[in-house]
Structure 1
Amino acid sequence: MTITNAPWHHPQPDQSDVHLDVVPEAVLHALAAGGTDATTRRPMSPWLTGPECASLWRRRSEQIRERPGDAPWVTRLIVDPAVALPVGVAGFHGPPDAHGMVEVGYRVDPAHRRRGYARRALETLLAVAQEHPGVRTVRATVSPDNAASLALIAAYGFVENGEQWDEEDGREIVFEVSVDGQRRPTEDWNRTR
């Protein structure tokens, strides 16, 4: 499987039409520069263009300038066709490293939390990772205070593999799952729809 800029759809389209859309490079750089709806030429929520996501856009913009091939892997918009604006962001931190590891990241706009968007995004990311021959392990790093994210990754078989200090987010627990070891969550996927 080659990673392209095409949208990533949920692995069970009968369960969810939420998908992950690539952020065009020009939009990514505009967001990194503090862009708004007008400068990105795509409707965005104040949360996506605000301070909560500013460092993410700057980091990804710099990454794409240095390594353009990372573009289709990194932060995408979580799109629910029933909602006018993207409801969050999700993607990988980059392509697989030399050991076949990719790290997932996801954030949901506070106005749209507790509606299953992070779950749908993670399911989509895991499906993309599982289909790509270069990926062997998926990593997630989570703040020990983020109970919702800890519960979410536990449902998908992630196991603790240490901890790290992130300059922006502070202490994070490192979790990993083998793409061969992925399993359906312990909860019914329909329950969170």
Structure 2
Amino acid sequence: MRFVKLSPAALQALIAGDLDAASAEAGFRLSQYLADERWLWEIRLADIEKNPENAEWIARAAVAQETDGEIVVGHGGFHGPPDEDGVVEVAYSVDPAYRRRGHARAMLTELLARVDADERVSGVRASIRPDNAGSKATIAGFGFFKIGEQWDPEDGLEDVYLRSKRTTSGR
């Protein structure tokens, strides 16, 4: 699994529904699934405009090796840079056409490796709807513990999980 950075120009093209322009800007053929996530790209573009450093953390196209070659299977990243406590919130989504093939776990594995290597990060947060059994299964075994609940205006009630950063010394 690898992630392709989406520049502000690529995000603008996705928001406009111009998949060809977005793909040209990204340097990789993006998917209709990404183009259909306009609401997300509007939020992430606003995040970048507010703080250009956010571009290093936000959602990227997730590219997996399939039998037909490399293909965009979804997107993954974080809601933004580490907060004042050094915590980032992970976010990933798999195109329904590619679900149940291990892509979510592969995305999460890569995203956690990234934060484990970053000295600015002390932990990773995940927010999951209580009825989302697939997402709960995805984070199982990665060291996440439920720490509470929150209300999300878009998703409703969410369980909040936290994973402390793993260091190279095994702590």
Match of 2:44 in 1: 60
For the 8 Å contact 2:116–2:167, the answer to whether it is kept is: no
Q: Which runs of 5+ in 2 are unaligned?
A: none
Match of 1:39 in 2: 21
Deviation, structure 1 residue 38:
2.2
SS in structure 2 opposite 1:114?
coil
RMSD, matched Cα: 1.8
Give 1:68's aligned amino acid. Answer: P
Q: Which runs of 5+ in 1 are unaligned?
A: 1-17, 183-193
Aligned counterparts of 1:76 and 1:58: Cα–Cα separation in 2: 14
Runs of 4+ with >4 A deviation: none
Structural mapping, 1:87-98, within 5 Å: 87-98=73-84
Aligned counterparts of 2:146 and 2:64: Cα–Cα separation in 1: 31
Of 8, 33, 47, the match for 1:25:
8
Number of matched pairs: 163
Give 2:19's aligned amino acid. Answer: D
Name whichever of 34-43 and 148-157 sits farther off.
34-43
Of 110, 113, 126, the match for 1:124:
110
Matched-pair identity in %: 43
Q: TM-score, length-normalised on structure 1?
A: 0.79
For the 8 Å contact 1:36–1:44, the answer to whether it is kept is: no
Q: TM-score, length-normalised on structure 2?
A: 0.89
